[in-house]
Structure 1
Amino acid sequence: MTDTAEDLNYDCNYNMFLAKTMLPNLNKTDDRQKAVRWMKKLATCNKSIEEMKLRNDFMYYLVVNIQQGELQPPFTDPPPASALPDIAHLLPGGVAEVDLEEWREHAAGGTKKPMLYENSPDGGAFLAAQPIPRCGAFCYLAVVAREPKKD
């Protein structure tokens, strides 16, 4: 699979949109500020294809953290001033717990989409922008108008 700079930037921009949309999920102001600093840092990481892939891995994991409503390492600390380190060593459990290729496939619109997204007319775009409750249930109701049958 060849990743072009255009594809990688598209994926990053999409995840950036999701992160910005879900920022209110973070209850702590400090966490929101850290997430914004990470987003600004990641937006500057585009000097090579490998750096862009790594940036997208960080972006995906940041979106997951924001969606869950709480930042986990490495996002609990400010972003590094230097180049991004390899993310697999920063995540809880290290490389064994994280399949980065699966992350890249999912972020690139791979085949492992939830069934709800696959069956949604907009591919899940509406649902992805909705807040996810920390506890309780998430209900999605669609109302469709149809013309009455003529007798």
Structure 2
Amino acid sequence: MARESEEYKNAIKDIASHSHQLESPFDRVRCVEWCRKLAGLSDEDLESCKLKNEYAQFLRIQARHKFLHGPFTSPPPDGQLSTLSECLGNLMAQQIPYLPRVGPLCPVIHHKSPDGRAYVSTKQIPGGGVFCYMAVSPDGLKCTIK
């Protein structure tokens, strides 16, 4: 979780240094609105850290290239953010009417032990079943999530 938080902070710093170069004042306002929305999300669990980081990295790329598109052309939603993949899938479905809308994606569960020596991840397999990954390191070494 620390790595995701650090990447998020670096992305926000980079966005701040490039957002003033956006040509449209509306884009600059949108950029600030999205940064505030992301800053308001919890840092307590891995999933929300990953969600913040996904959006921040995508916004970072756009701010560096001085052009906002996709979800950042409109204000952030008042409620909870969907995953970036779900959001982009729905934007594509709006542009291409014969594509089906994307619903909520199956959750992926991640858990890391407090001492960092064990890690478990599960994901539902389409058509039934569950994929489970577990890593345990010997004393003195810590598992790294990649």
TM (norm. structure 1) is 0.56
In structure 1, the partner of 2:27 is 31
Corresponding letter in the other structure for 2:18: M
1:21 to 17, 38, 49: 17
In structure 1, the partner of 2:62 is 65
TM superposition shift of 1:59? 0.1
Corresponding letter in the other structure for 1:61: F
| Structure holding more strand per residue | 2
Look up the SS of the partner of 1:90 in the other structure.
helix
In structure 1, the partner of 2:130 is none
Aligned-residue Cα RMSD (Å) equals 1.8
Give the total of aligned pairs: 91
In structure 2, the partner of 1:86 is 83
Query: Which one has more relative contact order, counting CA pairs under 8 Å at least 6 apart?
Result: 1
Distance 1:59 1:87 in 2: 10
The answer as to whether partners of 1:8 and 1:52 remain within 8 angstroms in 2 is: yes
Distance 1:23 1:36 in 2: 8
Q: Which runs of 4+ in 1 moved over 2 A?
A: 89-95
Corresponding letter in the other structure for 1:16: I
TM superposition shift of 1:83? 1.2
TM superposition shift of 1:93? 5.3
